[in-house]
Every structure is written in structure tokens, then in C-alpha cells.
Amino acid sequence: MPLARPARTAALVLAGALLAAGCGGGGPAPAPAKGAASGYPVTLDNCGRSLTVARAPRRAAALDQGSAEILLSLGLADRMVGTATWTDPVLKGLEKENAKVPRLADRYPSFEKVLDTEPDLVTASFLHTVGTGGVAPRERFEKLGVPAYVSPSDCAGKDNSGDGDGVRTRPLTMDAVYGEVRDLARIFGVPERGEKLVAQLRARVAKATAGDDFSDASVLYWFSDAEAPYMAGCCGAPGIVSETLGVKNVFDDTREEWPQINWETVADRDPDVLVIADLTRRAQSAESAAKKIEFLESHPATRNMTAVKHKRYVLLSGQAMNPTIRTVEGVEKVAAALRTYGLAR
């Protein structure tokens, strides 16, 4: 390890101590520095912890793709020092902005690599990313004076205490995603950009759902893995798509976020349409849509399913099947496919 790193870490510890001293505790808060921006510090209740940001971030590291795409959509590329944990190509229209920001890793970067960017904020879409087994627990960042923000969609109404992807205690809604957009816009001092993005997303949902009834259709959402496939339960991001369109998710009887379900059970549920993630990562078997379809059309348990025989597939990015701004893309594409397949009325 470079000799400079311990010195940098010591400096961050000192900065954290100074930040903590300025954000409350013993004695009155000092007067704002000359020229300090109004609206700061920003304090939020974030995934069970109080998060305080003393000033508008200038060096943010987005540790999940969904979080990165929100920051890029808010026009904040010039205030980002790195991104990580990607499942898909960047959202169309953001390619040029994304190219300005270093990619720290396709999966989780090391804690040290993130610190090397000297971040003043880290953001994540999932608690696991800033927890044990991910990049590092939030506490490690916070001890160095680096606030760590987590999407509320991964903790509001969700129990993450088990070994899987969590259990929803109540259905997720787009309001959690809109709340994340507003939180990040407020943290960066650009609330008007947040409101504009939320309005655009709401308008797209309204347009996608106008005029048709999809309630007779049933769907299944397959994210990854052919050997022990991860299918969507009732109440995560695919649940937003199902609820918004009024379709039935054939596995809406489980509140697990992504339960692993055997193919015989999948075949028994026999949905009208298969919504499948088209991933570019290489973490599981059958990541791409092409590989998934090849499997479905050759496996004895699935090749005679209604959706497979009629080739009723909807291909979505992984981010559209996670609770992100791309969940709106999921609503749009599933709605369009249901119309194409004659399942709207």
C-alpha cells in the first residue's frame, strides 16, 4: 500500500472530527462561514440513521448504478468522483455525462479504492452495498467524516435482517424512488432539478397506463440464474410495475424480494408473459436475455409453458427491475408488450 494512504486516512479522521464538532454536540454551533450556502447543513432520516451533510458535495461516489443514474440525471457529473456496481449499460441519454466519471469497479470496489477518490459523500441503492459484505459499513465512512446515503426504497417497509434479498413488510411504491430523487437533489442544493425529474417520471407513467385495462394478464419476472432462478415476489420494484398496470404477478403470494423458485413450480404457475432481465454482468448463469430464452425454450420443464410457446417475452434492463428511476421504463415496456401481445382490453 502507498505510504501516502495512512496520512490521507489520518487527515480524513481529523476532518470527520471537525465535521462532527460543527454539526452538533457540546456547545453552540459556530457561525456559518462567510459565503456559506443557505440551506445547509441538510439533515435527513435515512434508513434508520440521521444523516447530516454540512455543505453541497463536490466529490460524490455513487456505489450502485441506480444511484449513479439519478445523480447523472440531475446534471451532477461534475461533482462525482466515481461509480460502481453496474448490471447494464448506462441509461440512454446519459452516455456523455457518464463518460466523465471514473468507474471504480463493475462490482464492489474496495473501501480503500473509494477512499482514494477523497469523497465527501457516498451514495448507494442498497443497504448491502454499504454493509458487511459490500464496500464497507456506513459507520466506517462516517467515522472518516464521509456521509453515506442509502436509497429509502431498500429499507422503508422492508426487513433486511435475513440472508436473502430481504422481505417486504409492505408494498414498495414509486413514492420511495421519487423521495430518493428529492433527497439527493436537496443534498446537492438543486431541489428544482429534483422536482423537474420527478414530474417527468410521473408523466411517463401516466402516458404508459392511459386507455387500456391489463387486469386479465398474468406475468412472471425472472432476474437471474438458471440453476436456482431468482423470481420477483409481490412487493418490490416488479410489484410497482404489476400494481401500476393492474396485472397479476404469479408469485405475488411471497413477500420475499427475490425468492429462488424451482422450474417445476414456475411451469405450474404458467404466466401469460415472461418479463426477463437482460443483464450485461457475469455474476450468475443465464444473465443475458438471449441465454435466458435459450434455456426456457430447451428445458423440459419450461418449453411447453404458454409464454414460451407463444414467445411472449419482455426484455428489461436489470435496473428497470430494481427500485430505480428506470422502474418507469419497466412500466412502459411491459405495457407496450401487453398491447402487442393482445392482452390489453
What pLDDT is attached to residue 162? Answer: 85
Helix spans in the chain (H) = 4-22, 65-73, 95-99, 111-116, 138-143, 174-187, 191-209, 237-245, 263-269, 289-296, 306-309, 327-340
Checking if the pLDDT of 1 tops 90, the result is no
Which has the minimum average pLDDT: 29-43, 141-155, 228-242?
29-43
**pLDDT surpassing 90 at residue 192:** yes
pLDDT at 340: 97
Same domain? 143 vs 114: yes
Q: Based on the domain organization, do 190 and 270 belong to the same domain? A: no
Report the CATH number at residue 84: 3.40.50.1980
Amino acid 282: pLDDT: 74
Residue 24 has pLDDT above 80, yes or no: no
Mean pLDDT of 281-295: 86
DSSP-derived secondary structure for 62-101: E-SHHHHHHHHHTT-GGGEEEEE--SSPPPTT-HHHHHTS
Among 174, 157, 250, 245, which Cα is nearest to 207's? 245
Query: Which of the pair, 166 or 34, is modelled with greater confidence?
Result: 166
Q: Is the pLDDT of residue 110 over 90?
A: yes
The parent domain of residue 287 ranges over 212-340
Q: Name which residue leads in pLDDT, 137 or 282.
A: 137
Give the DSSP letter of residue 252: T
The pLDDT value recorded for residue 286 is: 79
Among residues 181, 132, 172, 148, the alpha carbon closest in space to that of 258 is found at 172
What pLDDT, in 10s, does the model give residues 31-69?
A: 443 334 678 999 999 999 999 999 999 999 999 999 999
Say if residue 183's pLDDT is above 90: yes
Which of 159-168, 169-178, 261-270 bottoms out in mean pLDDT, i.e. has the lowest?
A: 159-168
Query: Which residues is 216 bridged to in the sheet?
Result: none
Pair (295, 318) in one structural domain: yes
Does residue 292 share a domain with residue 160?
Answer: no
* Statement to judge: residues 242 and 330 lie in one domain: yes
Same domain, 180 and 290: no
CA-based angle 92:94:95, to the nearest 5? Answer: 85
